[in-house]
Chain A
Amino acid sequence: MKLKNSFFSRGLYLEGLKQLRLFGILGCILSSGLSILMLLGHVFSAKSAEASGLNYSHLSSYSGIDAAPALLATFMLLAPLMTLWLFHFLNKRNSSDFFHAIPHTRLCLFISFFTAIISWIAVTILMNGMVCVLINLLFSKYIDIAISSLILTMLYCFSASMIVSSAILIAVSITGTVLSNILLTGMILFIPRLLIYLLYYTPLESIPIMYIKDVPLLLDNNINPVTGIVFDAFGIYTNNYTPLIDRIDISSIIYGIVLSIIYLCIGAFLFIRRKSETAGKSAPNRKLQAVYRIIITMTYCCCIITPLMIDNKINSINSSYFEWFVLYLVAILIYLMYELITTKKIKSMVHSIPGLGIVAVLNIVLIFSTGSLIQKTLDYAPSAEEINSFSIDSISNRYSGNDISLSDYLIISNNIEIKDSEAIQAVSKGLYDCTNKLKEGTNEYYNAITGPNYRPYNVKINTNDNSKYRSIQLNTEQANKVNQALQEEFFKTGLWNQIPDINSTSDLYVYASYLEMPVLTDGQKASLYESLKKEIKKVSIEEWRKCYMDYEYNAVFSIEYYTKINGVSYFLTIPVYDELTPETVQMFYDMAYVNQKDQIKELKAFISNKKDIENYSCTVEYYTYNEKEKSYDAKTSNDNIDNLIDALDCMIDQPIKNKDDFVSLSFYSYEEEFGEYSGDTVSFAVDKEKIRKILENDKELDDIDTEFYPE
């Protein structure tokens, strides 16, 4: 009997569910309702468009958060409201006394009520998810929800809700008013990450030669679901263009659960020891009140000191004494105001003044340590003799979402170590020049070291003592030495005739250089990728070099996708050349032929009677293969339906052949009923002689630039 009561009570749990039912029911209705409205809205709109004859794909793809955006509200609104509501009995003497008198242990009350909160959160999330899955099943023609993404999003939001709720439970256990509940919750949730950002990331990010590399997992803000989303929304910490909610990792879900369990244990410990007489007070005793006060004040101090120190040390901006005075005056005001607002007593505020001494000491420590960290970073410049080797970690200056070529990808991803003495000398000199210039100030640094004569490299420098990452600028001569060493080493490794393995072909993008891009299925993309992977192994170094390093030829199409190397995100583009991998190129043409067959048929039928067509827009592009240049020449005519019909007459019913002529055309006519143009674009094989005759006769055609593949 005693054991049964110790941890969980069904009665208390049901009572907790009842007390929260208004929040729970509203949460379920609103979150599921939003998804239903959004998704069915698209279904109805697609059905209307179909009914009116608009023949394009009405299938709309949704990620987890796209389909169920209200899931974010579970941890931003529902979890905090529910937790504060159910545990607000701790803030008033009468209710606090009541719950401390009931025949259940404190731990039992804590766990039972918390379980009730989490039950409602889980129901809300599950219901929202099930609604999305059901709509996905019923209207699969119009809705394509990535179920794995949906599940991840649901787990993510659940994990975030657990963190928020358990943080609030710590706060309510050691405070006794709603205001102090909320303030302390904010401190628990955000201040640790904010301090890491201010004291670790900001100095490092502000120093041009530093870049954040291989952040210890626990220091990576993205690992925390709550602060990850919130800081990402405010642009803090993030250097990724894709919102965090669209790149959820399972590790953050696990981290969230573990963190919430830790918070729960702390909360339970404090709850059990909580005195009922704390109700109505901002803190159970003066010491804790002082701690809260100092934390708030010090957070503000970190916000001002770090940028000031950086300005002074790096940017050569010397703040005046007056500036420091004003900023610290604000700190003192924050300190005193916190006391006044939470205790509502001027006497308490006055008694808190001696605590400013602690704030002063902490600030001295902060200023000293920030300054030391920055100075230590600037002083790191090992000589060439001290450097054993280096490798290229990434190719850009700390920005993610970078474009990367296949050659650079292979070089970086294989962490090729360079031991060439000349290259090492170049890197050592480059780093030395950078740190020296930086000591004069960032303006001097950017004026002297960066620009068109310099190239940025993020390198990993290995010495006997350690390995450090630096972002350095190398001049042309230095860069050439490094690149040469890289290439030599790269080709030695034999890794050049590879393309990376990928997890999912649904993440692939295929772009055609000349053709009107057909919609490829995931299976087709997978086949193309596999074919490329096999064919590229047979390619010689010289041919590979011509294509992927010297860009001598134009690609027929490219395969692109997001990937990560060494923790940095890139957008990898793999061009596919008919010179290098003709089988893959032909496979692509075959797929285009199959996929566009119906479209071509419809288009032909549609424009067979040109008298009916009054309001239209059309473009014809003629691609003829130039054997000498090994690329396509292209010409175009606009809004001439006769050319379009002539081009259709030249069509031959077979896939385009590698290095053969073809035509791409688009035709759109105005639909008055819908107030918009509808039509299609297609590419097809043509009779070579016929098409060249057209080109000879028609002098009004314009040239098209066929340099599609950028260097």
Chain B
Amino acid sequence: MIKTTHLKKQFESFTALRDVSCNIAEGCIYGMVGSNGAGKSTFLRLLTGVYQPDAGSITIDGQPVWDNPDIKKRIAYVPDELYFLGGATMNRMEQMYASIYPSFQKEYFRKLTKRFELNPKKALNTFSKGMCRQAATILALSIRPDYIFFDETFDGLDPVMRNLVKNLICEDVLERNATAVITSHSLRELEDICDQLALLHKGGLVLESDVQNLKTEQFKIQIAFPYPYDKELFKDIDIRHFSKQGVVSNMIVHGDRESIVSKLQLMNPTILDVLPLSLEEVFTYEMETLGYSFAIE
């Protein structure tokens, strides 16, 4: 399990992360979303032991990460800025990873290379950006890590490769109970793979929740009545957002769907439609509740 407690990281006068506390359970796929400069990459670098926190703590399975090889050997990290040796091929990088990571599996590496249809003998500096990401992902997964950290990895992949990588992550999580932390500035990318989602904004963790809960506990209701009404009619219901055009109202409601629908039906509406919300809409309305106003892609 990954646990961060009041995590803080500062770069000279700029605070990249402030008071971030979270728990990431084992076998979870944890998505972290936020705008540019929110602190996602900083968070991952703290998790991988690249940075040392200025305050607070990070532990993985109860042990600190910083300068701890026993923990680090269980971590694979694919950063947003990739690193390969100058002029190296995938085979050369395989040698390098094998000498650095004790659990690196060459067979699995070759299997993945084939699956991704990459030429391991070709120099990596001739690969496209997406291919480089694939190569980095292959190398990371070949470590067979218990903890996989991806920093905006999907953003450079085509849809087919994106799905392939997602499948591989899911395989690892299911088969070996691995834990994945994936950051992105696109909720759409994380929606279908992550168990938990967190929203980082200006260095602070503003929202963290189970994806299923997020999707089911908030929904949209379109309702109309034959008589005049206003928002007061729904005072027993947790409404996040209310708008009325003519006789038809649109409400974003938080709570148990069935009980709320039953309650509304008792009011004899002429129109009662329950519409699901996309994760993006959920986040947007949650943020409004919290007093934040920003747009996510």
Contacts and interface: CB of A to CB of B under 8 A. Distances in A.
B73 interface: yes
A106 B100 contact: no
B79 A103 contact: no
B129 to A, nearest CB: 13
Contact of B99 (A14, A94, A106): A14
Given A18-B95, A97-B83, A103 B52 contact: no
Interface in A55-95: 89, 92-95
- With most chain B CB atoms within 10 A of its CB, the pick from A2, A18, A101 is A101
B70 interface: yes
Given A101-B77, A104-B72, A276-B45, 4 more contacts: A12-B100, A15-B100, A101-B50, A103-B75
Interface in B79-121: 79, 81-83, 85, 95-96, 98-102
B100 A100 contact: no
B167 to A, nearest CB: 25
Contact of A94 (B52, B69, B82): B82
A94 B75 contact: no
Contacts of A138: none
B95 A103 contact: no
Contacts of B83: 89, 92, 94-95, 97-98
A440 interface: no
B57 interface: no
Contacts of A98: 79, 83
Prevailing SS type, chain B contact patch:
loop
Interface string A83-123: 00000010011110110111111101000000000000000
Interface string A1-25: 1100100000110110011000000
Contact of B52 (A11, A89, A102, A275): A275
Contacts of B171: none
A2 B70 contact: yes
Contact of B67 (A19, A105, A276): A105
Nearest to A97: B50
Nearest to A93: B81
Contacts of A93: 81
Interface residues of B, number: 29
Nearest to A6: B69
Contacts of B71: 103
Contacts of A702: none
Interface in A350-383: none
B51 interface: yes
B218 interface: no
B134 interface: no
A277 interface: yes
A19 B85 CA distance: 9
Given A15-B100, A101-B75, A94 B81 contact: yes
13 contacts: A2-B70, A15-B95, A15-B96, A15-B100, A18-B95, A101-B77, A103-B70, A103-B73, A103-B74, A104-B69, A105-B69, A272-B67, A276-B50
B227 interface: no
A103 B82 contact: no
Contact of A102 (B12, B95, B100): B100
Interface of A: 1-2, 5, 11-12, 14-15, 18-19, 89, 92-95, 97-98, 100-106, 108, 272, 275-277, 285
B72 A103 contact: yes
B294 interface: no
A11 B79 contact: no
Contacts of B49: 100-101
Return the 7 tightest CB-CB contacts between A and B, nearest first: A103-B73, A11-B99, A103-B72, A94-B81, A94-B83, A98-B83, A103-B69
A271 to B, nearest CB: 12
Interface of B: 11-12, 45, 48-52, 67, 69-75, 77, 79, 81-83, 85, 95-96, 98-102
A277 B81 contact: no
A443 B63 CA distance: 76
A103 B51 contact: no
A532 to B, nearest CB: 66
A12 B99 contact: yes
Contacts of B85: 19
Contact of A11 (B72, B75, B100): B100
Contacts, number: 71
Contact of A97 (B11, B79, B98): B79
Given A97-B83, A276-B50, A103 B67 contact: no
A104 B68 CA distance: 7
B103 to A, nearest CB: 9
A95 B93 CA distance: 13
B100 A108 contact: no
Contacts of A100: 49-50
A104 B100 contact: yes
Contact of A276 (B12, B51, B77): B51
A108 B50 contact: no
A272 B75 CA distance: 20
Contacts of B98: 11
B70 A275 contact: no
A277 B100 contact: no
A629 to B, nearest CB: 82
Given A5-B69, A93-B81, A98-B83, A103 B45 contact: no
Nearest to B103: A103
A533 B229 CA distance: 130
Contacts of B102: 11, 103
A104 B102 CA distance: 11
Contacts of B67: 105-106, 272
A91 to B, nearest CB: 12
A98 B97 CA distance: 11
A83 to B, nearest CB: 17
Contacts of A11: 98-100, 102
Nearest to B73: A103
Contacts of A97: 45, 50, 79, 81, 83
A311 to B, nearest CB: 45
Contacts of B50: 97, 100-101, 276
A11 B100 CA distance: 6
Contacts of B51: 275-277
Contacts of B11: 277
B72 A101 contact: yes
Nearest to B92: A18
A249 to B, nearest CB: 41
A216 B161 CA distance: 69
A93 B81 CA distance: 8
Nearest to A285: B12
A100 B52 CA distance: 11
A173 to B, nearest CB: 15
A108 B69 contact: yes
Contacts of A1: 70
